[in-house]
């Protein structure tokens, strides 16, 4: 048929055609690298979540259309902070974040700096301030990101970008709902995607589950503390009984206890 990969007469092929045949890192490659970097066994309660995060993030990062920015960084850091908030082994949680970023060719420390920078800028702003910046108005770093998105014909939306926008909602006190995320993406940013609403529903569901898990863990902790307190009381009572018995025995033999 005369077909050649990457040689189609389209803007997309002209833009990315030279990448045809390029060796692309696989999900299993990334998973193996992550495991080697972390060097510890992932807590069973978090294993599925970590695996899903590695898979979805890998597929985003290896896409030729992917471009890192501070909104994406804010989404990544926010996700990790919330998802691993109650990870039982705190030092291991730090390793998980580092390993996730490193296996993707990214640096978690740099991403946290970028996320903090955008978060600091958003402090005290209103929802309309964010919308204006997403329209490319003003000289903020958010407006600069918006202009780059608008200028990129093949810009790629991904989950962490959406979560980054949701984080800006939390920071500015905007009602976090599907209509707002849709407006910010479709109207203000000018991106035609329905994935924002899908990611919103997924993210809110995850947060609700984590909240219930946190409540359950606190209840378990309270019960364990009560059991421990009861055991200590029993031990104390037994010690008192033994002391009383010893005193009575000493008194019966005319001894001073």
Q: Is the pLDDT of residue 78 over 90?
A: yes
96-119: pLDDT as tens digits: 999 999 999 999 999 999 999 999
Percent of the chain residues topping a pLDDT of 90: 56
- Per the CB < 8 A criterion, the answer to whether 8 and 15 are in contact is no
Report yes or no on 57 lying in a domain: yes
Report yes or no on 90 lying in a domain: yes
Report yes or no on 225 lying in a domain: no
What pLDDT, on a 0 to 100 scale, did the predictor assign at position 5? 58
Report yes or no on 3 lying in a domain: no
Report yes or no on 192 lying in a domain: yes
Report yes or no on 224 lying in a domain: no
Report yes or no on 109 lying in a domain: yes
Mean per-residue pLDDT over the chain, rounded = 87
Q: In 3-state terms, what secondary structure has residue 89?
A: coil
Considering its fold, how many domains does the chain have in total?
Answer: 1
Q: Output 241 or 150, whichever has higher pLDDT.
A: 150
What pLDDT, on a 0 to 100 scale, did the predictor assign at position 9? 67
219-253: pLDDT as tens digits: 666 777 777 777 777 787 787 777 777 777 666 66
**E-assigned strand segments in 82-221:** none
Contacts of 187 (CB under 8 A, 6+ apart): none
What pLDDT, on a 0 to 100 scale, did the predictor assign at position 137? 95
197-208: pLDDT as tens digits: 889 888 888 877
Q: Report the distance separating Cα 94 and Cα 10, nearest Å.
A: 44
Q: Output 24 or 257, whichever has higher pLDDT.
A: 24
Contacts of 80 (CB under 8 A, 6+ apart): 96, 97, 100, 108
Report yes or no on 196 lying in a domain: yes
80-99: pLDDT as tens digits: 999 898 888 999 999 999 99
Range of the domain at 183: 11-16+23-206
């Amino acid at each position: 048929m005369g077909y050649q990969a990457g040689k189609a007469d389209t803007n997309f092929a002209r833009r990315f055609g030279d990448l045809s045949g390029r060796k692309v890192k696989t999900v299993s490659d990334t998973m193996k690298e992550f495991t080697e970097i972390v060097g510890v066994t992932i807590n069973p309660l978090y294993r599925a979540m970590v695996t899903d995060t590695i898979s979805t993030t890998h597929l985003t990062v290896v896409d030729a259309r992917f471009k890192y920015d501070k909104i994406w960084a804010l989404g990544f850091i926010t996700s990790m902070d919330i998802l691993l908030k109650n990870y039982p082994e705190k030092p291991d949680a730090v390793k998980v974040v580092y390993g996730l970023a490193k296996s993707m060719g990214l640096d978690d420390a740099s991403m946290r700096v970028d996320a903090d920078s955008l978060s600091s800028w958003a402090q005290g702003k209103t929802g309309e301030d964010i919308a204006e910046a997403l329209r490319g108005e003003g000289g903020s770093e958010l407006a600069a990101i918006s202009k780059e998105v608008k200028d990129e014909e093949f810009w790629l939306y991904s989950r962490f970008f959406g979560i980054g926008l949701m984080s800006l909602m939390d920071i500015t006190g905007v009602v976090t709902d599907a209509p707002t995320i849709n407006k910010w993406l479709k109207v203000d940013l000018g991106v035609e995607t329905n994935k924002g609403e899908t990611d919103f529903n997924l993210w809110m569901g995850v947060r609700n589950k984590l909240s219930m898990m946190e409540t359950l863990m606190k209840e378990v902790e309270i019960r364990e503390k009560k059991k421990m307190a009861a055991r200590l009381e029993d031990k104390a009572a037994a010690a008192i009984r033994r002391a009383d018995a010893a005193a009575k025995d000493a008194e019966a033999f005319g001894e001073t206890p």
